[in-house]
Amino acid sequence: MIEATLSYHDLGISPADIYEQMGYGNTPPDEATAGETLAMIEEISGIVKARYCFFITDGSLDTATDTLSAMGYDFSIGKIIARQLRGSQRYTFFVATAGQEFGDYLETLSSAGDMVKIFIADAIGSVIAEKAADMMELSLASLIAPAGWKHTNRFSPGYCGWHVSGQQKLFSLFPTGRPCGVTLTPSSLMLPIKSVSGVLGIGAEVRKLDYSCGLCDFKQCYKRKLPPRRK
């Protein structure tokens, strides 16, 4: 298994990334919100220890039943994901997280009850987790490039027809019960909450495509881009 710990600066996050996550699109927020966001970035940049871990394994995909089988487990991943994983020669399972340190920071804000700061921190945490997963993809791409292989998009339980309970089987694949320090509740919620997990297909013929939001009816998906706000 390959693991890495990343500082906030390693992630290459821009304020625009956070404003987009907050729903501002291409229109910057008001001066007060922007100032609060920049101050929070300064505050948390020294404490964040984001992490990712992943491993590659054999597996088989049954497109008739939309089932991915790996390491003795069968994952009912849904038609959309099964279609995107077609042609994969092997599979990569991963976990990425904003880290316990940021989770503790978010809990402190929640206890204080400042809703504006909680809103901003929630957006920052989501971006940190996604950027950590992006760094995982870069590491994977570098690893498989000498073989001429590529990878698909990453897909997570809870999206595109893969039930969130699939987290339980996914975490069982890892050699430790707490990959990257992340644990699961009985309801499959990841702790720290700003964490992502999932699977990618790898192989010579697979492709990474634009996320096909038009094929999916889950309106709250983090990959669904918001239209720019009007001034």
Tell me the pLDDT tens digit for each residue of 79-132: 999 999 999 999 999 999 999 999 999 999 988 888 999 999 999 999 999 999
Which positions of the chain have pLDDT values less than 50? 222, 226-231
According to the model, what pLDDT value does residue 229 have?
Answer: 41
DSSP for the chain reads -EEEEE-TGGGT--HHHHHHHHT-TTSPPPHHHHHHHHHHHHHHTTT--EEEEEEEE--EEETTTTEEEETTEEEE--HHHHHHHTT-SEEEEEEEES-HHHHHHHHHHHHHT-HHHHHHHHHHHHHHHHHHHHHHHHHHHHHHGGGT-EE---B-TTSTT--TTHHHHHHHTSSSSSGGG-EE-TT--EESSSEEEEEEEEESS-------GGG---TT-TTSPPPPPP-
What's residue 131's pLDDT?
97
End-to-end CA, the chain: 48
Residue 201: predicted pLDDT:
97
Instruction: Assess contact for 131 and 13: CB atoms under 8 A.
Output: yes
Residue 227: what pLDDT? 44
What pTM, to 2 d.p., does this model score? 0.89
| pLDDT number for residue 217 | 54
